[in-house]
Amino acid sequence: MNFFWREEPATEQESKLLALLFKAHEESSFRNNVSSVVLQQVAGGSGSYTNGVAAAILSLGGVHAPLEDIHEVLTDGEVPAGIVPGWGNSFIKGVPDSAWAEVDAQIAAMAPNLALRISSITDALHARGKLVFPNPGCYTAAVAIILGIPKQIAAYLFISARLSPWTYLAMNQLVPQLQLQT
């Protein structure tokens, strides 16, 4: 596999990491997260797949998957005060998200220093009384770092990993409308 952002082809471990990332994103896509809900509402309301996908992409950043901010947290020396982007999960509370366990383990195997950074931020948050764990955004930004993706396009991983499940979700909104028109 070749990557467009670098000259070296993917290693076997990098290909495995990417496959695990896509698998975890697929599972996460079927939760009622912001991008999946927005996609379904806009696709269903507008009758347009592309409008739904565009809306899902436009929901990224800020609170939902601020990948550039998370990239900075993972590569900067200081743990920010307050809310730390990339930690906390609306669906899994008080424990690590099991959908991301294999990604976490592969990151640890490939980039022990990055895994240590993730762990130390988690520990610092716990010491502050915040029982939060890395979320899909954290893992996506970590994979971007490992693969050498510039932070400005780290969202590429999130979008490409979710495009297939988003398409399935949009199809379920659009097919009943299409059947009524025939």
Residue 41 confidence (pLDDT): 97
Could you give phi then psi for residue 149, rounded to 5 degrees?
-80, 130
The residue with greater pLDDT, 178 or 99, is: 99
Whether residue 177 contacts residue 47, with contact meaning beta carbons closer than 8 Å, is answered with yes
- Please give the C-alpha separations between residue 70 and each of 79, 179, 181, in angstroms, as whole numbers: 11, 42, 44
Q: Decide: residue 156, CB within 10 A, 0-12 exposed, 13-18 middle, 19+ buried.
A: middle
pLDDT in tens, 22-58: 999 999 999 999 999 999 999 999 999 999 999 999 9
pLDDT tens profile 129-138: 999 999 999 9
Entry pTM: 0.94
Indicate the SS3 state at residue 174. Answer: helix
pLDDT at position 177 = 57
Element containing residue 108 per DSSP (H, E): helix 101-110
Q: How far apart are CA 20 and CA 78, in angstroms?
A: 29
For 51, residues 6+ apart whose C-beta sits below 8 A from its C-beta are: 42, 43
**Residue range 141-176, pLDDT digits in tens:** 999 999 999 999 999 999 999 999 999 999 999 986
Q: 72 burial class (0-12, 13-18, 19+ CB within 10 angstroms)?
A: middle
**CB under 8 Å to 30, separation ≥6 — which residues?**
36, 165, 169
pLDDT band at 182 (very low <50, low <70, confident <90, very high): very low
Banded model confidence at residue 79, pLDDT cuts 50, 70, 90? confident
Question: Is a pLDDT exceeding 60 seen at residue 178?
Answer: no
pLDDT at 179 over 80: no
Residue with more model confidence, 151 or 182? 151
Nearest alpha carbon to residue 76 among 124, 109, 5, 15: 124
Q: What is the pLDDT of residue 108?
A: 98
Distance in angstroms (rounded) separating the CA atoms of residues 86 and 100: 13
